[in-house]
Amino acid sequence: MTGERGLEFELEAYKKAIELGAPVRIRLYVLWSKVFGPKGIGARTVEEINRSLDPSRLRIAGVKIFADGAISSGTAAIYGRFGADPSAENEPTNEGVLMYPPERLHAMIRQAHEAGLPLAIHSIGDRSTDLVMDAFEQLGDASAHRIEHAMMLSDLQIERLARIGCRVTMQPEFLVRIGHAYQRQLGPERTSRLKRCRSVVDADLRLSLNSDRPVVPGDPWVGVYAASQRPEGFDPAENLSLEESIAAYTAAGAGSVWRRWATGSGSASRPVGRDAGVRSASRAGVRTASRPTIEGPCSYWLGA
């Protein structure tokens, strides 16, 4: 990601973190505007930067686009409208916000795709996700790209995503931390169907899970727990198994970075990964954590 200081400043910060022994591999998805905008560095410079880095530790993996907002703020682009009772006449009319007109979003996606840069596209609402899928379908091969969040998915949208072949990344910790805001904005029926992890995996989609820090504290074990035991108010039929949840956070997480650079190739249903740090956990130990290593043999055991 890039903030107010700009890409070059933040890259130096990441390089320094690696020099000081940061115990993680870092893959950056930088804002689309920082590469392709009026003051962007261009795709060729991204390639030059990557050639100067140790790919096993730090790399620009792709670009990030925000297609809509968030449910909690009533800015995710949805079908219908926000409000606990969307049929109530006194509820304000609000269908959320599209960050770009459809034709502009499609052009941005195509530009990054043709430059060989994978895309991570923030899309929370079902309306914005349809627009992202429209653009992906026009690419021919969207397997290098992923949709971040995809919180509101119909059965037809899940089938369509499976045909398109992109990855989907979800954040189950949201259900624990922000569930009350979803209830307020969507009401109980629509809230219960958010983050349909089970349906996505059963459709043979490539699902990975992550935290989206700093939106939530980012404890992966809280996320694993929420994915396998959804909190009250969320449809338990969408639970993953504990094994699937851990795989989605580890092997599938590594695989969610474009395959040319990542050696993890798994999904929640097919956990195959070599880039992920490995630890072992019992079912009883799912809420606890210890610090993993990024290389070498498995050296941490949680639970008996």
**pLDDT of 300:** 42
> What global pTM score does this model have?
0.85
Pairing of strands 58-66, 119-123: parallel
**pLDDT of 304:** 37
Closest CA to 109 of 138, 86, 148: 138
**pLDDT of 50:** 95
131 vs 24, more confident: 131
Angle formed by the axes of helices 220-228 and 242-249, nearest 10°? 140
Please determine, looking at this structure, whether the domain spanning 67-272 carries the CATH number 3.20.20.140: yes
User: Mean pLDDT across the stretch 212-218?
Assistant: 92
User: Mean pLDDT across the stretch 111-115?
Assistant: 98
DSSP 6: -
Reply yes or no on whether the pLDDT at 257 is more than 60.
yes
* Residue 294 near residue 23 (C-beta atoms within 8 A): yes
**pLDDT of 189:** 96
Reply yes or no on whether the pLDDT at 266 is more than 60.
no
Query: What proportion of the chain, given as a percentage, has pLDDT over 90?
Result: 73
Q: For residue 58, which phi and psi values (nearest 5 degrees)? A: -145, 135
Domain residue ranges of the chain, discontinuous segments joined by + = 1-63, 67-272
Token couple for 231: 């909190």
Q: What is the pLDDT of residues 36-71, one digit of tens each?
A: 999 999 999 999 999 999 998 999 999 999 999 999
Reply yes or no on whether the pLDDT at 75 is more than 70.
yes
User: Mean pLDDT across the stretch 256-281?
Assistant: 51
Reply yes or no on whether the pLDDT at 288 is more than 60.
no
Burial 108-145 (b: 16+ CB within 10 A, else e): bbeebbeeebbbbbbbbbbbbbbbbbebbeebeebebb
**pLDDT of 123:** 99
